Structure 1
Amino acid sequence: MLTRLLTTIKNNLGFILILTMLFSIRSSLADWYHIPSGSMQPSIEIGDRVLVDKTAYRLEFPFTNILLSQTGQPAHGDIIVFESAAAKERLIKRVIGLPGDTISMQDHRLKINGKSLTYSAKDNYLLETDLHGHTYTIAIDSVAGPLANFSSVTVPEGFVLVLGDNRSHSADSRVHGLVPVSEIKGQAKRVVISLDKHNYYLPRSGRIWQSLGEEKII
């Protein structure tokens, strides 16, 4: 039995090495994440497959959580994927607050460190906003719900405050609390492909390899 196993491994060594390399890449370098909900609309749609850079903030030994190198820190506006212990699932949200920031929300309008963010109407229930030199679009309901407001909170060291772009329908820091930086698995960079379940799961041509980077204001 052992001889047969060793022979099988020897005869398929190239294929085994390729598989190991692919799984190592997914474990430590890059991964893709299927979007099951609309909490990040309109930036990310249901059915998007998002490429996640797992080296954006830290480099880990393959198949472990052992830190090899700190490669960066989350920044305002980053879209991150994290394993939420509070929610007991993997989530994708946008970083709004960093350690030291004091943040509050009134009628879905944010105030960060005493300064109100600017908002402009873009379409029905869509607002374009500016977060530290980056613009992106949020969606809100016409009637303010329980998620429209929160009192002032200061983000402590080792945590970030995250929100979904679909502000009225996102279970984020308003529901699950601040996110430990240690839970962050990577930064979402772009949509690889998007499958439309209402159209026979055909790809949405306009979203293939679409960047998720924020547009800088000049």
Structure 2
Amino acid sequence: MANAGARDDHAEYRARGLRGWLLGEGRQLLVMLVLLAIARTSFANHYGVPSGSMEYTLMPGDHVMVDMSAYGVRIPFTDVTVVPRDTPRRGDIAVFKSPRDGVRLIKRVVAVGGDRVVLEGGHLSINGKPLAEAGAPDLEWFGDRSARLNLDAGGGPDIDALVIPPGQVLVVGDHRGNSIDGRYFGLVPASKLYARAVGVFWRRGEGPVWKSL
């Protein structure tokens, strides 16, 4: 009987200890995990590049740091924006879900609402102005940012004088002939872009690097 009483006392002691841990350190650990989840889904994350559709800017196997709050801070796991921030700009490399099948993609925003787009032979003109200079046809400029194109597979489908409606963006890969992009699945609502690429931090065959985007 004495041994049974001792076991009961020990079990009660352990139960009190567990309750104490759950109310103390356990609660702190849970709060920390929740905050980490919120930070990852709302502020910063990374993206592994699965294909060559963005060559030469992004190569297969690259790991890219992305800013999840670039276009607004959202409630985790939803599309509800609670703190608006920047709007997409030409030249941004954005992460979004394909309107066709929901697959996560990373492409370049080449045109925004109000832009008139012509794409011929893989080369873009926006509002009547070619983005590449005559002496460097494979280098396009989006303001102060440039993109070196890969045209080894041709230019892909052309676009003839498309005007982008307000609130929409056109996304296209830098590997113009090897990219399933807005020329196939159409325009993307600007509100559906949920991250902007900041830089490459790991490259296959090289290891740790930093290449700003």
Q: Under TM normalisation by the shorter chain, which class is it?
A: 0.7 to 0.9
**In the alignment, which residue of structure 2 is the partner of 1:181?**
190
Q: Aligned residue for 2:171?
A: 162
Measured in 1, the distance between the counterparts of 2:22 and 2:173 equals 47
Aligned residues: 197
Q: TM-score, normalised by structure 1?
A: 0.81
The superposition leaves residues 8-64 of structure 1 with CA deviations (integer Å, 9 ceiling, x where unpaired) of 633433332222221111111111111111111111111111111111111112343
Unaligned runs of 5+ in 1: 197-203, 213-218
Q: Which has the larger radius of gyration?
A: 2
Which residue number corresponds to residue 96 of structure 1?
Answer: 110
Write the distance in 1 (CA, Å) between the matches of 2:168 and 2:116: 13
SS in structure 1 opposite 2:52? coil
**Structure-2 residue corresponding to 1:82:** 96
- Kindly state the Cα deviation for residue 148 of structure 1 after the two structures are TM-superposed: 4.3
4+ aligned runs moved over 3 Å, structure 1: 3-11, 119-122
> Are 1:57 and 1:72, in contact at CA under 8 Å, matched by a contact in 2?
yes
Identical residues among aligned pairs (%): 34
CA distance in structure 2 between the aligned counterparts of 1:158 and 1:54, rounded to whole angstroms: 19
The answer to whether residue 150 in structure 2 is matched with residue 150 in structure 1 is no
- In 2 relative to 1, CA 190–8 (structure 1 residues): closer, same or farther, beyond 3 Å? same
Distance 1:37 1:132, change over 3 A: same
Deviations 1:152-204 (A, max 9, x none): 110001110111111110111111111111211111001122234xxxxxxx1
Q: In structure 2, what is the equivalent of residue 29 of structure 1?
A: 43
2:57 aligned to 43, 54, 59, which one?
43
After TM superposition, the structure 1 = structure 2 runs for residues 5-154 of structure 1, keeping only pairs within 5 Å, are 9-10=22-23, 11-119=25-133, 127-141=138-152, 144=154, 147-154=156-163
Deviation at 1:84, TM superposition (A): 1.9
Unaligned stretches of 5+ in structure 2? 1-14
Tell me which moved more, 4-13 or 77-86. Answer: 4-13
TM-score using structure 2 length: 0.83
Show CA shifts across 1:50-89 (max 9, x none).
1111111111123433211211101110110012232421
Q: What is the distance in 1 between the residues matched to 2:110 and 2:19?
A: 53
CA deviations over 1:88-114 (Å, ceiling 9, x no partner):
211101111010001011111212111
Question: Hey, what's the Cα distance between the residues in 2 that align with 1:167 and 1:182?
Answer: 25
Q: In structure 2, what residue type is equivalent to 1:193?
A: W
Q: Is the 8 A contact 1:120 1:129 kept in 2?
A: no
Distance 2:66 2:100 in 1: 21
| Aligned match of 1:201 | none
Q: Which amino acid aligns with 1:20?
A: V
